[in-house]
Structure 1
Amino acid sequence: MILTGSEDLRVRRTIDSIKSVFEQMICEMDYGKIRVTELCNRAMINKKTFYVYYPTLDDLLAEIQTEYSAEYIERIKDYKLPDELDKVNREFFLFSEEKGLAYEKITCAGNESYHYIRSGMIKKVTTAGWSSSKKYGSLPEYQQTMLMNFVNNAVLGIYRQWIEEGKQQSVEEITRITNRLVLGGVREFFR
């Protein structure tokens, strides 16, 4: 349940507790091993309370990913694409670094549930970022799809590798490398 600020304090505490425990569990175990019973025990609520707010764990995961997307979209909303893709990429790495381990697991894990829900998050961010671009909008649909696949797969692939290798490079260095690789292709594409 996405909080609006007008909820009763008990409701806010309950939702915050559910999300906090869920993110802890994501860090500790595979998504498929997370059980509502254990989540409720850790959050000190009963299962009935959980189900009042979330029909399934997938709904809780989708809500958390929606919140991540909304926060990120807010950060990049004023950038003009493709001209400021370097800044968008930098924001992605800074944002990802701020979000921590649960975000990393959701973004990098190969788990089908993460993948299914993550693809919706990627689509939402892509649409928000690129929909106002005249250059992008003038492309045929198949080229728009190719461009998005290239940018998303390249940036997420580099991010995953960076995470898997223990973040050996600074955010600035990994952003610089990402931009050198990705921007060359995007700039050439729009020539």
Structure 2
Amino acid sequence: MTDRRVQKTKQAIREAYLSLILEKDTPKITITEIAQRANIDRKTFYLHYDSIADIIHEFGRQETEELILRLEQNDFFDDTSDVAVLFRALNTLMEENLQLYQHIAKTPSYAFLWGAIKDILKESLIETMGERLDISKAELEICAEFYAAGTISTYLEWLRGDLPMTDDELAQIIGDTAYYGLQKLLTKPQEKA
């Protein structure tokens, strides 16, 4: 019974924080504002979180865990020949909170959130792929950083509206680039001007 109430309170706190993000163009959201929106007092907030950063980290971790679950359901880790599966799964995950993702992508003061999400994605790639690959720890770190940073950077441009294409087109292009690298571009016939 207590566990359900704890989860319900934590969910109310997260939802309050995320709704405040959508309303404000600044990350200066106070614990008092969150507590009022969640209909709790500040002491209750501190029973569940030490800081607002803990909410962000938990949200990023939950999103990443959901992404990994979706990838496992699509056998991504057993057959990585279709890397676009990763990005299609990311698209469907973002669609559930698209307005939030677009807002924080367009608001420069929320850049720290993307850094946190990138770090969580990198960490998850290392945890998930580390056992499957026979490479050094340093090489794994570099590859995970490359994929996580490139993915976040590209999605930020798309969420801001700087890449005029559908999410499926974006997933295919990023997937092809992630799998084939620049080789695919180099083997395409060049269009003449």
Write the distance in 2 (CA, Å) between the matches of 1:130 and 1:65.
19
Where does 1:80-159 land on structure 2 (aligned, <5 Å)? 80=77, 82-104=80-102, 111=110, 113-115=112-114, 117-133=116-132, 137-159=133-155
Q: Give the 3-state SS of the residue equivalent to 1:33 in structure 2.
A: coil
Question: Sequence identity, in percent?
Answer: 21
Q: Count matched residues.
A: 180
Where does 1:1-191 land on structure 2 (aligned, <5 Å)? 6-7=1-2, 10-30=5-25, 32-77=27-72, 78-80=75-77, 82-104=80-102, 111=110, 113-115=112-114, 117-133=116-132, 137-165=133-161, 168-185=164-181
CA contact (8 A) 1:106 1:118 kept: no
With normalisation by structure 1, the TM-score equals 0.77
Q: Give the 3-state SS of the residue equivalent to 2:27 in structure 1.
A: helix
CA contact (8 A) 1:73 1:128 kept: no
CA contact (8 A) 2:57 2:116 kept: yes
Unaligned runs of at least 5 residues, structure 1: 1-5
Q: CA 1:91–1:109 in 2, change beyond 3 Å: closer, same or farther?
A: farther
Q: CA 1:154–1:85 in 2, change beyond 3 Å: closer, same or farther?
A: same
RMSD: 2.9
